[in-house]
Structure 1
Amino acid sequence: MPRNRRTSSQTPATSRWRSRHGRGARGPVTGPHLPMLQNRIDFFDMTVASTADYLKGVWPEELANVHFEVAATPIGNSGADGVDRWRVDAARRRIVLYRVPIQRLTKLHHDDELHRRMYIEGCVFRAVAELLGKDPWDLAPDRYRHF
């Protein structure tokens, strides 16, 4: 005769986390041996960091103590279309890039990873050019000469 597995000391599975058929909480989708999937925030942060490192390597003296920061959105609206993409504080030697306006208010002709990365890099270049008082194309002239 089969016995009931639940004894009187066990409580029903009505806890805060989801217990599906007594298996416990769910784990990550990718599993323990695969890397986590990259999301938009990580992609944005890595692109800003790699572009800032590149520019610091090209202009080491001018960008030695410049701090690059990423914020979600600007506090005020003062950009050309109503929302700033970055803010340069020359007195504090600080550049703040706003992730949401750069990612969501951009109209790319091809919405793929390459064009999103190029637009983010362009914003970093323009913000650094504004800080240094230079043209963005003058920041890395050898990068764009392929002949």
Structure 2
Amino acid sequence: MPRAQARRRHDRGPRSSLAGPVLPLLESRQTRFEDALADAAEYLMGLWPDDLAGVGFRWADMPPSESAPAAREVPQWAVDHQQRTITVFRLPIQRLVHLHVDDDWHRRIAIESCVFRAAAELIGREPWEVAPDRYRHH
């Protein structure tokens, strides 16, 4: 019996892959957030290479708890001028920002808007100056 026929079970054809069908990559709200943040940061670094040289963009789920009692609102980002870092907080943006249309594009724009405003705060400019063709305040 040829080897190919030996793999057939009860005339059902060749066996399927042990891992199953090829599945699309898993995408979560967190990975979409990370991608939008990275894209916005890369865009800004291309526009302002001298002003943003050495700036680190990062994200955290929530701001540190010690900043909460003094603040009236939950911050969406934090800028550290000494360390030259921008930290964008995922959960306040994803859960507390009220969008007039709740779809992927508007959620992405909300994330980008926070990144642009944080970068503007770091380099001492207005957000519409930092990203004139992409800044949309929501």
**By the TM > 0.5 criterion, same fold?**
yes
Q: CA deviation at 1:64?
A: 1.3
Q: Is residue 122 of structure 2 the alignment partner of residue 135 of structure 1? A: no
What's the Cα RMSD here? 1.8
Q: Distance between the aligned counterparts of 2:124 and 2:58, measured in 1?
A: 20
Name the residue aligned to 1:106.
97
Letter in 1 for 2:110: Y
**Structure 2 contact 116–131 (Cα < 8 Å) conserved:** no
Deviations 1:58-96 (A, max 9, x none): 0001111000010000112255x4211000001110000
Q: Which has the higher contact order (CA 8 A, sep 6+)?
A: 2
Q: Say which of 26, 40, 48 aligns to 2:37.
A: 48
1:38 is aligned to 2:18: no
2:48 aligns with 59
Q: Identify unmatched segments of 5+ residues in structure 2.
A: 1-17
Residues 19-60 of structure 1 deviation map (CA, whole Å, 9 limit, x = unaligned): xxxxxxxx99xx551222311000000000000000000000
Q: Is the radius of gyration larger for structure 1 or structure 2?
A: 1
Structure 1 stretches of 4+ with a deviation exceeding 3 A read: none
Aligned residues: 114
Specify whether residues 67 and 32 from structure 1 end up closer, same or farther in structure 2 by C-alpha distance, changes over 3 A only: farther
Using structure 1 for the length normalisation, give the TM-score: 0.72
Higher percent of residues as helix: 2
Output the CA distance in 2 between the equivalents of 1:90 and 1:99: 21
Which residue number in structure 2 is paired with residue 89 of structure 1? Answer: 80
Q: Secondary structure at the match of 2:111?
A: helix
Structure 2 length-normalised TM: 0.77
